[in-house]
Amino acid sequence: MIRRARGMRDILPEDEIERKRIISIIERNYQEYGFDPVSHPAVERLDVLEAKSGEGIKTEIFRFDDGELGLRFDLTVSLARMYSENSGLPLPFKRYAIEKVWRREEPQYGRYREFTQADADIVGSSSMRCEAELIACACNTLADLGIKEYKVYVNNRKLLNATLRHIGLDDARIDTAIRCIDKLDKKGKAEVVKELAQNGITNGGEIVDAFTKGIEYYEQIEECKEGVDELKKLFSYLEMYGIRNYEFDPSIARGLGYYTGPIFEIKSADKQLGTIAAGGRYDGLIGIYAGQQVPAVGISFGVDRMANLFKKENSSRTYTDIVLVNVKEENIKACINYAKKMREKGVAVRIDLMERSMKKQMEYASAIGAAYVGIIGDNEEKSGTITLKNLGTGEQKNVNLEDAVKIIKGETRAKSV
Amino acid sequence: MIRRARGMRDILPEDEIERKRIISIIERNYQEYGFDPVSHPAVERLDVLEAKSGEGIKTEIFRFDDGELGLRFDLTVSLARMYSENSGLPLPFKRYAIEKVWRREEPQYGRYREFTQADADIVGSSSMRCEAELIACACNTLADLGIKEYKVYVNNRKLLNATLRHIGLDDARIDTAIRCIDKLDKKGKAEVVKELAQNGITNGGEIVDAFTKGIEYYEQIEECKEGVDELKKLFSYLEMYGIRNYEFDPSIARGLGYYTGPIFEIKSADKQLGTIAAGGRYDGLIGIYAGQQVPAVGISFGVDRMANLFKKENSSRTYTDIVLVNVKEENIKACINYAKKMREKGVAVRIDLMERSMKKQMEYASAIGAAYVGIIGDNEEKSGTITLKNLGTGEQKNVNLEDAVKIIKGETRAKSV
């Protein structure tokens, strides 16, 4: 049998409706926080994709057969490349993008090679107000999503770099060490020390210890001053936004190669949900494409895992509010007419498109998960009414069209647009 | 300079806001007509993409370096493949998908290698009610988009095939002839006759004549009976939907290889806008993947050209309603506080993220195209008000927060979500 490509999936209505609900909440928050939408091309030149991506991601790029093009693995690289081609934009440039990205990873249960990122980025400002604005926006989004138990973990790449240099690592080994430290949370201390040793870094114990200290430790290291000052500034802005549930965590590292300043992860108390949003400052990335340094900072929500986990609670299998059932073949004209009027009022309606019996039509309404059926026979046609049946409660009554619309709109779920 | 890939583009806020407005109108109509959303993977196996695509499109597939995968060139093939892997779905299965597709065509002005299709399809029914439902949905969408002057042109692949067979062409040459006839509208009779001759079909004059006849001509050809009956049935359903501006056009052919029954194109009277939506019945396509015949019919809106042409009229450069301006550095805390309250009311707000002077902040508000600025200095802080300035009219007044929100929400444009 011919089938879908490995690691790819179709998102069927049950999942897609929930995914769209989550996306629309994120999108509304991005808009309220003053971000405007941009859509980037899925296909980018390989030299763009590989310029500053870090070694890990290069092996995961979907490459085309011309040897010149690939699919984007995130939206930040496209933003940086885009900005370099549109340098006249008023700064700060605040853009959001909610689009799919592709990585040729080994597929796992619930993890696909295509997934959706919902990003907001601020280009052109070095102020810590940007980081605070992004974190505040994310916290508000979480509240709207009904996620109450979470914490914002904040670190600064400048601290990571300065501390590792202070301990005595050279630049080449700093990148390796950061990749190892990034796993501290998941793998634990012993495993990370072992991994550091495997990479030729023998003072792993000292390194790991450094990244479990409080901010006071870093304040005493001269090379860390800039990074500490930035974080203090950021924390004071977070307080202005009324955000209290943040925490300095020196072990937060973020995998991607392009971060240069503050980095942050928002983690749910629910371990299954894990990291909901994450981001950081990448003041060096745009410069690679634009030829001049342009500061920038961004945040990204992973939509898919949320959609998977929320599905059970909010599951709505269809947007369709009502299935209109024609009792006899001749009643189809009335059904079409009623459907037209209800749709004009914003009700989502299906009619019988298979010329089936009334019984089959009723079964179909249940099968798709519609909230109501509206039965239309000769009596209803004559009196201009419909017999409205609530499929949840089984309750049934004869009402005119106007009342039917009121009942349906009052009780059924909201559309996505 | 590193740049975007050939034929690709970023869609910046000015264009993306209009594109999203159009998409949300199409999407709302699809929902009201009882379609549910599905998202298909961008990457498909080449054997899926090439199974029934027609020769023309094969050369336009973006192929990956593994020789097994490619980017989808439309959404219909993915739907057919998807259905074959999800055969338990209640029928008819009504799905919409609004996603990008990719074709490696020669880029032209305003035509890109990546574009958005907005499709609705009905799987599982042979009834002409499906065609009528799709056309009615499209007509309603056009009304909501403000497009008043258009016509629905309808034909049937069965007529094309039967007529060409009647004239004496064999099956192999029928496909070639259909591809030529498809260009009758654009290239004219003489050119098509020439092209037919170049393909070894010498009775081009007779063929072209046949495809300028009225439906009465086809009624007299025995082999055309099934196709004519379907169209008559379809037209009677269109009348039930109150649709009058349709027309039989025997020269409508639709390029893609998979159509088997009625086909339709909705064309604007505005030649620049051209074909807005088009579709048809493809009863054979799903069978290729599923192993059993499953009837299906769909329609597709091309979003990009509409967005390009509508932009000037509706252009809104930003979703941002208001830029809050802090008179002095110390007023930023009040700005953050005001922004929080306004955002809670659904107002899209920007604050100063670059620690700039009041003058620069005002210039920024104009540059991004915000409707209002809200000035916050010591006086405003003390009295809990803002000085609200309408950047369109220049009008300025001191109001409390609640009134500011009312003024802004009453006058500024709606968000996309």
Question: What is the predicted ipTM?
Answer: 0.94
Q: What local confidence, expressed as pLDDT, does residue A315 receive?
A: 65
Distance of CA B168 to the CA centre of its chain: 38
Contact between residue A389 and residue A396 where contact means Cβ atoms under 8 Å apart: yes
Tell me the domains of chain A and their CATH numbers: 13-314 (3.30.930.10), 322-411 (3.40.50.800)
- Residues of A within 8 A of B347 (CB-CB) are 32
8 Å CB contact of B32 and A85: no
Give residue for tokens 């995130």. Answer: A74
Residues linked to residue A137 through DSSP beta bridges, in sequence order? none
Nearest CA in chain B to A66: B65
Q: Which helix (H) or strand (E) holds A155?
A: strand A150-156
Contact between residue A349 and residue A398 where contact means Cβ atoms under 8 Å apart: no
Q: How near does any CA of chain A get to the CA of B203, in Å?
A: 40
- Residues of A within 8 A of B102 (CB-CB) are 42-43
Residue of A36, A289, A376 to mutate, testing the B interface (most B Cβ within 10 Å of its Cβ): A36
Q: Please, what are the averages of pLDDT over each run of 10 residues along chain A (417 residues)?
A: 89 94 97 98 96 80 97 96 92 98 89 96 98 98 95 95 88 84 85 90 88 89 94 97 95 80 95 92 91 94 87 77 97 97 97 97 97 97 96 95 94 51
Residue A55's SS3 state is helix
Mean predicted lDDT score pLDDT of chain B: 92
Contact between residue B178 and residue B251 where contact means Cβ atoms under 8 Å apart: no
Split at pLDDT 50, 70, 90, the class of B174 is: confident
Q: What local confidence, expressed as pLDDT, does residue B417 receive?
A: 44
Contact between residue A199 and residue A176 where contact means Cβ atoms under 8 Å apart: yes
- Helices within A10-106 (DSSP H only): 13-32, 46-50, 55-58, 76-85
Higher-scoring residue by pLDDT: B292, A9: A9
Residue of A1, A10, A23 to mutate, testing the B interface (most B Cβ within 10 Å of its Cβ): A10
Closest CA to A196 of A167, A217, A153, A228: A167
Give residue for tokens 């945040």. Answer: A299
Contact between residue B354 and residue A92 where contact means Cβ atoms under 8 Å apart: yes
For residues A9 and A6, give the distance between their C-alpha atoms in angstroms, rounded to a whole number: 8
Q: How near does any CA of chain A get to the CA of B209, in Å?
A: 36
Least confident of A299-308, A404-413, B58-67, B304-313: B304-313
DSSP assignment letter at A213: S
Q: What local confidence, expressed as pLDDT, does residue B52 receive?
A: 73
Q: What local confidence, expressed as pLDDT, does residue A186 receive?
A: 82
Instruction: State the sign of the Cα–Cα–Cα–Cα dihedral A337, B297, A307, A35.
Output: negative
pLDDT at position B245 over 80: yes
For residues B47 and A390, give the distance between their C-alpha atoms in angstroms, rounded to a whole number: 45
Retrieve residue A4's tokens. 């879908």
Residue A226's SS3 state is helix
Partner residue facing B32 (CB), from A102, A323, A346: A346
- Residues of A within 8 A of B37 (CB-CB) are 13, 16-17, 20, 319, 416
Give residue for tokens 């979480």. Answer: A142
8 Å CB contact of A8 and B78: no
8 Å CB contact of A332 and B240: yes
For residues A61 and A69, give the distance between their C-alpha atoms in angstroms, rounded to a whole number: 10
- Residues of B within 8 A of A133 (CB-CB) are 351, 353
DSSP assignment letter at B224: G
- DSSP annotation string for B369-403: T-SEEEEE-HHHHHHTEEEEEETTT--EEEEEHHH
Residue of A1, A4, A94, A373 to mutate, testing the B interface (most B Cβ within 10 Å of its Cβ): A4
Contact between residue A221 and residue A162 where contact means Cβ atoms under 8 Å apart: yes
CA distance to A80, A128, B381, per residue, from B354 (Å): 19, 9, 21
Q: How near does any CA of chain A get to the CA of B186, in Å?
A: 30
8 Å CB contact of A130 and B353: yes
Q: What is the dihedral of CA A305, A307, A308, A314, to 10 degrees?
A: 150
Q: Which helix (H) or strand (E) holds A278?
A: strand A275-281
For residues B76 and B161, give the distance between their C-alpha atoms in angstroms, rounded to a whole number: 22
Residue B247's SS3 state is strand
Q: For B263-292, what is the mean pLDDT?
A: 92
